[in-house]
Amino acid sequence: MQITQLNLSDDIIDLGVGQPDPSLLPLAVLSQAATHRLTQPDASLLQYGMEQGNEYFRRSLAQLLSDGYGVSVEPDRLFITAGATSGLDLVCTRFTKPGDTVFVEEPTYFLALRLFADRRLNVVGLPTDENGLVVGALEEKLSEIRPAFLYTVPTFHNPSGVTLTASRREHLARLSEQYGFYVVADEVYHLLAYTTVPPPPMVSYDASGTVISLGSFSKILAPGLRLGWIQTAPDIIHRLTHSGLLLSGGGMNPFTSAVVQSAIELGLQQNHLSRLIHIYRQRSADLEAALHENLSGSATFKNPGGGFFYWLRLPNDINATALRKEAKKKGGQFSTGH
Ligand SMILES: Cc1ncc(COP(=O)(O)O)c(C=O)c1O
């Protein structure tokens, strides 16, 4: 059976999908934020929303991100989405046509590949190492093919856990300007830093308006909210807002945005994120200790320092697919390399 976000069974611990632990979903936070918002005499959150996303919400979000990233984020450069997946889908609508090529890292987030398949895009993989995408190999590839965009998960990568170094980020941004392709950076794990401080998001390296950064509340609040953002240059935002989807339906999730705005203003979002980081840091340390105890000398691994994923390299004589079947019998599941 193919793994998706939904077909997970309750009696299996699945280390291969990017889902929060159900016990960490913040019902009380959302209840408090919703009460705060719904007791204000302002029904505008129930109306069609501004295409780019509510301005007050974008201001609150910009402040949250500026604090979290350690670099200034401007509200005018934010566009509200229904999650990173929705942002990526809209980017495909507006910036590709069937048959176009997109570059991805090898390995990459497996469900992004499904989305590119839906769009009939031609996917070309690029090598990665312990510092993320090998940007030198990208440069060589660019002399053969020019992609519509390159999709990357630069920080705490799904599934490999690696983080792209600052110098490679600079190089990648320069190449996108020089060769005229977009970099779509899926930064959903950036704010979940436990022991590593990552370089600023990919979009901070953008000098010429070629980087499109995808963010999400799925990993820092709750995936059921279906709320996220794109941070990018104004002309790209203009192109996104002038899509049929937005012109007909208005901005995405105005109701949820308004509730989450209260969560940010009341400090609840920041408290929740701090709590998540505290808990995940401990779990990550426990996993690291268990790996050292049970697998050192056989598998090789490196602590990712944040995010949801730990990548193991198995010895050559171990078949990952067979091992996965054995793990499942014992109540554990993981993803194999693609
Ligand atoms: C790299 C990556 N991008 C996107 C998503 C999904 O994000 P969203 O819920 O915001 O659509 C996930 C979730 O697993 C992910 O790991």
Across 82-104, average pLDDT: 98
Please give the number of the atom of ligand 1 that sits closest to the Cα of 228. 10
Neighbours of 169 (CB within 10 A): 29
Q: Would the CB of 83 count as within 6 Å of ligand 1?
A: yes
- Write out pLDDT tens, residues 32-81: 999 999 999 999 999 999 999 999 999 999 999 999 999 999 999 999 99
Does pLDDT of 6 surpass 80? no
Residue 299 CA from chain centroid, whole number: 27
Across 276-294, average pLDDT: 95
- What is the pLDDT at residue 5? 60
Q: Tell how far the Cα of 124 is from the centroid of ligand 1, in angstroms.
A: 20
Ligand 1, atom 16: closest residue by C-alpha? 18
- What is the pLDDT at residue 16? 83
Does pLDDT of 276 surpass 70? yes
- Write out pLDDT tens, residues 178-236: 999 999 999 999 999 999 999 999 999 999 999 999 999 999 999 999 999 999 999 99
- Write out pLDDT tens, residues 129-186: 999 999 999 999 999 999 999 999 999 999 999 999 999 999 999 999 999 999 999 9
Single pTM value for the model: 0.95
Tell me the three-class secondary structure of the chain, residue by residue: CCCCCCCCCCCCEECCCCCCCHHHCCHHHHHHHHHHHHCCCCHHHHCCECCCCCHHHHHHHHHHHHHHHCCCCCHHHEEEECCHHHHHHHHHHHHCCCCCEEEEEECCCHHHHHHHHHCCCEEEEEEEECCEECHHHHHHHHCCCCCCEEEECCCCCCCCCCCCCHHHHHHHHHHHHHHCCEEEEECCCCCCECCCCCCCCHHHHCCCCCEEEEEECCCCCCHHHCCEEEECCHHHHHHHHCCHHHHHHCECCHHHHHHHHHHHHCCHHHHHHHHHHHHHHHHHHHHHHHHHHHHCCCCEECCCCECCCCCEECCCCCCHHHHHHHHHHCCEECCCCC
Q: Tell how far the Cα of 318 is from the centroid of ligand 1, in angstroms.
A: 29
Q: Tell how far the Cα of 188 is from the centroid of ligand 1, in angstroms.
A: 6
Across 85-90, average pLDDT: 98
Through-space distance between the first and last CA atoms of the chain, rounded to whole angstroms: 16
